Amino acid sequence: MAETATATTRARVPLWARVLLPLVVLGVALLIGSGAFDSASQTVAQRSAAIEADVRCPSCTDVSVADSNSTTAIAVRHQIENLVAAGSSDADIDQTLVSEYGQTILLVPPDARTGRRPRPASLRRAPQG
């Protein structure tokens, strides 16, 4: 008798609903888990780390200042942290570093159209408004 009730219930739910509902639930879970709705702004340390990952160590070959322990890399990291703490924009920090060390200081060259370096969405600052 229980089998008959289950079969009757299944017959009432259309196939598209049995397929679509789990897909919608999965999509919502992925959106929430990805942090797409997280509006918290980055901390000074997070923002500094994101910038440091894209800045070349002045005394190394193709190594970011985040990955180097050379004296010059440490000095650049401190400079970036101070600029971020002072409220400088990413573009201002890039310009300061380029004016002191040259264009090769940037591991990721700026976009020719916007003049800004592309950053992964997870590392971008949330707009403040």
Residue 116 lies in a domain: yes
Q: Are residues 16 and 73 in the same domain?
A: no
How far apart CA 53 and CA 66 sit, in angstroms, is 5
In total, how many domains does the chain have? 2
111 vs 23, more confident: 23
Domain containing 112: what range? 44-123
Q: Are residues 81 and 119 in the same domain?
A: yes
Question: How high is the mean pLDDT of the chain?
Answer: 80
Would the pTM of this model clear 0.75, i.e. be above it?
Answer: no
Report yes or no: 91 and 116 within 8 Å, Cβ to Cβ: yes
- pLDDT tens, position by position, 88-97: 998 899 999 9
Residue 44: which of 77, 85, 89 has the closest Cα? Answer: 85
Q: Is residue 36 part of a domain?
A: no
| More confident call, 53 vs 110 | 53
Tokens of 49: 């780390």
Closest CA to 106 of 58, 48, 34: 58
